[in-house]
Amino acid sequence: MSESIARNPAAKRKSELRKMLLEARKTACCAPDAAAALGARILDILEHYAPRVAAFYWPLTGEFDARDALAEWLSLDARRQAALPVIPVIGTALEFHEWAPGMPMKIGHHRIPEPESARVLVPDLLLIPCVGFDGDGYRLGYGGGYYDRTLAAWPGAVRPATVGVAFEACRINDLPREAHDVPLDAIVTDAGSYMH
């Protein structure tokens, strides 16, 4: 455990919860109907917010794979665009590079695929992976702080709609909160959609 976590009770509790919730997510992602339910809810939330540019994430182990849902959303209107996060430098805010199905990819930081295209887009909506979440819309991520830094440094006055993507099995009563934590606008799971 890092010294900063040892001195911060909320960070220590988050670290402990993260381990437990990653295990719960690993089990939940194997449920037979979970992927179809989450895909449908993502399409519904995209319809609700009607973004021009939607950013999502490349799926890591246990995360819902939103690529099919985004490909379907893109196919319904040629004016729509999708983007994936790119880490230009470790520890800095994310950039979002244009993505389309079949686009060439390369391996980026943390061994996460990212578009070879360097076309930067500014999303109206972010689909953000959650390790866990609570009823007030707070999210537990991996602890790297990339989305926190990105939203804090967002260009322009209007920040994007933030939508967490999670499995219902990863919902807990309340997450420990730190000063920089901000609730998401909505969370979609295999069991429902929660607007905040």
178 marked ligand binding residue: no
pTM of the full predicted structure? 0.90
Q: Is 116 known to sit in a ligand binding site?
A: no
38 SS3 class:
helix
To the question of whether residue 70 is assigned a binding role by annotation, the answer is no
138: annotated binding-site residue? no
Query: Annotated binding residue at 140?
Result: yes
pLDDT in tens, 117-131: 889 999 999 999 999
164 labelled as ligand-binding?
A: no
Consult the annotation and say whether 46 binds a ligand: no
Query: Under CATH, which architecture does the 3-195 domain have?
Result: 3-Layer(aba) Sandwich (3.40)
The 10 Å CB-count burial string (b at 16+, else e) for 23-42 is ebbeebbeeeebbebbbebb
HSE-CB at 101 with a 13 A cutoff on CA atoms is 10
Task: Identify which of 172, 165, 185, 135 has the alpha carbon closest to the alpha carbon of residue 40.
Answer: 165
∠ CA(187), CA(193), CA(196), 5° rounding? 55
pLDDT single digits (tens) 62-78: 899 999 999 999 999 99
Q: Is 98 annotated as a binding residue?
A: no
128's enclosing H/E stretch is strand 125-129
141 in a labelled binding site: yes
**pLDDT by residue for the chain (196 residues), tens digit each?**
334 444 566 777 888 899 999 889 988 988 889 999 999 999 999 999 999 999 999 999 889 999 999 999 999 999 999 999 999 988 889 999 999 999 999 999 889 999 998 899 999 999 999 999 999 999 999 888 899 899 988 987 789 999 999 999 999 998 888 888 889 999 999 999 999 8
pLDDT reported for residue 7: 56
The reply to whether 144 sits in an annotated binding site is: yes
